Chains A and B, each alone.
Chain A
Amino acid sequence: EPEVTQTPSHQVTQMGQEVILRCVPISNHLYFYWYRQILGQKVEFLVSFYNNEISEKSEIFDDQFSVERPDGSNFTLKIRSTKLEDSAMYFCASSTRGQAVTDTQYFGPGTRLTVL
């Protein structure tokens, strides 16, 4: 069964460093998302992406964050200058029909980012 994959599974970085989190969405999906979950808290939406541009972003997704689809398969989230509060699990998700309310988003296994 096709699935969303994410690398790395765990990333440790120093405050102020840039990190790139990578995702390979399910191959026939067209809509891509990033969410984050701070330890012990609920999952929060960051950004959605369709047709090589951002569809929607939350207030969390400030100028420190960017997303890109550099080739036909990868979808990346970059954090330019990490802060301690960026420590969280980052989930990538993808779906086929983002315009439909009941379109199901399938999540990857997550990347646990630890900022020291």
Chain B
Amino acid sequence: AQKITQTQPGMFVQEKEAVTLDCTYDTSDPSYGLFWYKQPSSGEMIFLIYQGSYDQQNATEGRYSLNFQKARKSANLVISASQLGDSAMYFCAMREPYGGSQGNLIFGKGTKLSVKP
């Protein structure tokens, strides 16, 4: 079973508009973290935002916010006022406890966002 599901392989958004990138996750552990990374065409992975499973409020970081719906196991990324430089692949990822070390990130397949001028 997929741990992280990103159902939108590609999305288009008009410059200056907001866009929501979907992410659902699967875990039975009560303690986990959710992360979003951006991967421009140059290839690097840029950390954007995280949400802890026990956080009461949705995370925000500048133009990025996370719409965290725990009961639905979704952690959608909202980008407000899209810019041309936002065109990139976006990956949702999760960390969950593994034995004594809460280690690796599990990634979704990504969503390719294209911002139109």
Contacts and interface: CB of A to CB of B under 8 A. Distances in A.
A99 interface: yes
B109 A42 contact: yes
Interface in A24-66: 33, 35, 41-45, 48, 50, 55-56, 58
A102 B45 contact: no
Nearest to B109: A42
B104 A58 contact: yes
Nearest to B101: A55
Contacts, number: 78
B101 to A, nearest CB: 5
Nearest to A112: B43
A94 to B, nearest CB: 12
Interface stretch (A15-23, A78-86, A103-111): A103-111
A112 B108 CA distance: 20
A35 B37 CA distance: 14
Interface in B27-82: 31-33, 35, 37, 42-47, 50-53
Nearest to A44: B107
Interface of B: 31-33, 35, 37, 42-47, 50-53, 91, 93, 95-99, 101-110
Given A33-B104, A99-B101, A104-B47, 9 more contacts: A33-B105, A58-B104, A93-B45, A101-B53, A101-B102, A102-B95, A103-B95, A105-B105, A107-B47
